Amino acid sequence: MAAVFRHLRIILCATKCLPSRCCSGFISRARYMNRLKEDDEACLAALQNGHIFLFHRLSPLLQRTERGTLKPAPLVTSDVQSVLQRLSSDGSLLKRSVLIGCSKQNQALFCLDVGELDQVAVEEQCEGNFMDLRKSLFLLTGAEAHLLAKGKALLRWHQTNRFCSATGQPTHRNQAGSQRVCSSSGIVYYPLMSPVVIVLVSDGKRCLLGRQSSFPRGMYSALAGFCDMGESLEEALCREVAEEVGLELQSISYSSSQHWPFPHSSLMLGCHASVSPAHTQLQVDHTELEDARWFSLEEVTSALKVKTPPSRGDPPILWLPPKQAIAHRLITEWVQSKVQNSEC
Ligand SMILES: NC(=O)C1=CN([C@@H]2O[C@H](COP(=O)(O)OP(=O)(O)OC[C@H]3O[C@@H](n4cnc5c(N)ncnc54)[C@H](OP(=O)(O)O)[C@@H]3O)[C@@H](O)[C@H]2O)C=CC1
Ligand SMILES: [Mg+2]
């Protein structure tokens, strides 16, 4: 592995995607969020004036828009309280809300799983439907999708970390839900994410996309894989590409990252990479991938224009991951860089 890195050129350009935050109140919101994580009473007070995204067994409450898209239906805390009272739930459920953000109007945003209440009864009271996030995520806009992904990941973490793995005793959360502490040993647990590398490999003219048998019909995506313990980002990228398609990377450039709530909670680290045009022969590991292929700029450009996924019986067409997925961003960046280079 060391030999690989002697020749590997790594370009880091992490600052390129930062949105402008100047004078936006970003710093005061970040500090406010931090205070709510540390101060249970302040967090409880913020909850009384906050907004809550309801979930039912990890599926968020959504409403359909006139344009056929979906939007979350956050409720003010007093409305959630009324719903809970009408459904004869005791008030303690509200306190299980988990802090997920702060709006530009400085209102704290929470999520709450009401999975112990009757789903249909809550849907009727709230004029929305609880929908599987995996299916609905791609019909939501960016900021909302991010909040729901974060909410689902945090709620799942609380549901699966109720006991200390060292003592077997119950753990108790702080009011914000940003940590759990073992009642016996005092061990503090924080929500965990698994680092995952995702890479768009190019040979200069074409890009490499693969598909797993579980992907929707026609869909190909950038190569991805979980980091092993002790690996750097670069090591994980080189190993995954070597394992899955039998290629050796020449250079890597970092693009951006994304939190991804499926199947658990991952931090997707997105990169571009190149291989030598003289060494592009693929040896696909079919235990990991159903197929992997090189695609031309023309093929990818037309696939980016396809608006609806192919259905059963349609002629086979290339279908790319939707906008909300970091794979889409990597593919779009590659197309843009090719177009810019051809214009120079
Ligand atoms: N947002 C996006 O644009 C995209 C996101 N992804 C996400 O990236 C993730 C990784 O991609 P994938 O190609 O499947 O990964 P891998 O190529 O690493 O293959 C997945 C396998 O790795 C093993 N594994 C090792 N560590 C972990 C861990 N911490 N958690 C779960 N499984 C682990 C599991 O094997 P075993 O079960 O045998 O133990 C699992 O089946 C997926 O969750 C996928 O949803 C992928 C593509 C695009
Ligand atoms: Mg993989």
Average pLDDT of the chain?
A: 91
* CA 240 to ligand 1: nearest atom: 17
Would you say residue 81 lies in a domain?
A: yes
What is the tens place of the pLDDT at every residue in 68-93? 889 998 899 999 999 999 998 777 89
Q: How far is the CA of 226 from the centre of ligand 1 (A)?
A: 5
Ligand 1 neighbourhood includes 288 CB (under 6 angstroms): yes
Residue 289 belongs to a domain: yes
Q: Are 52 and 60 in contact (CB under 8 A)?
A: no
Ligand 1 lined by 235 (C-beta under 6 Å): no
User: CA nearest 207: which of 288, 141, 271, 136?
Assistant: 271
CATH code of the domain covering residue 338: 3.90.79.10
pLDDT at 344 over 60: yes
- Ligand at minimal distance from the CA of 226 is 1
Q: Which atom of ligand 1 is nearest to the CA of 328?
A: 3
Distance from the alpha carbon of residue 72 to the mean position of ligand 2, in angstroms: 31
What local confidence, expressed as pLDDT, does residue 23 receive? 57
pLDDT at 6 over 50: no
Mutate to test the pocket of ligand 1, among 160, 194, 200, 226 (most ligand atoms within 8 A of CB): 226
Residue 11 lies in a domain: no
Q: ω before 191 within 30° of 0 (cis)?
A: no
Same domain, 204 and 248: yes
Phi, psi for 102 (deg, rounded to 5): -145, 130
Domain hosting 281: range is 194-343
In a domain, 181, yes or no: no
pLDDT in the model for residue 90: 77
- pLDDT at position 5 is 47
Mean pLDDT, rounded, for 168-193 = 98
Is beta strand 9-11 parallel, antiparallel or unpaired with respect to 251-260?
parallel
CA distance 279 to 247: 7
Within this chain, do residues 125 and 68 fall inside the same structural domain, yes or no?
yes
5 lines ligand 1 (CB under 6 A): no
Same domain (yes/no): 73, 202 = no
Q: Are residues 198 and 143 in the same domain?
A: no
Judge if 31 and 97 occupy the same domain: yes
* Whether residues 34 and 157 fall in one domain: yes
Closest to 251 measured CA to CA, from 218, 277, 231, 290:
277
Shared-domain flag, residues 133 and 267: no
* Tokens representing residue 162 in the block: 């109720």
The residue among 139, 162, 185 that closes a domain is 162
* Ligand closest to the CA atom of residue 325: 1
pLDDT of 1 higher than 70? no
pLDDT of residue 314: 78
User: Is 344 or 165 the better-scoring residue by pLDDT?
Assistant: 165
- 178 is a domain residue: no
Measured by CA distance, the residue closest to atom 18 of ligand 1 is 225
If asked whether residues 105 and 198 sit together in one domain, one would say no
126 C-beta neighbours (distance < 10 Å), count: 18
Cα 211 to middle of ligand 2, angstroms: 9
Question: φ, ψ for residue 269 (rounded to 5)?
Answer: -105, 110
Percentage of the chain beyond pLDDT 70 is 93
pLDDT of amino acid 198: 98
**Alpha carbon of 225 to ligand 1 centroid (Å):** 5
Burial of 235-269, coded b for 16+ CB within 10 Å and e otherwise, reads bbbbbbbbebbebebbebebbbbbebbeeebbebb
214 in the same domain as 304? yes
- The mean pLDDT value for 112-134 works out to 95
Q: What is the pTM of this model?
A: 0.90
Q: Does the beta carbon of 225 lie inside 6 Å of ligand 1?
A: yes
Give pLDDT, residue 8.
55
141 shares its domain with 217: no
Residues 198 and 335 in one domain: yes
Give the per-residue pLDDT at 214. 92
**What is the distance in A from the centroid of ligand 2 to the CA of 42?**
43
Q: How many domains does the chain have?
A: 2
211 and 136 belong to one structural domain: no
Q: What is the ipTM of this complex?
A: 0.94
User: Is 221 inside any structural domain?
Assistant: yes
Q: Is the CB of 196 under 6 A from ligand 1?
A: yes
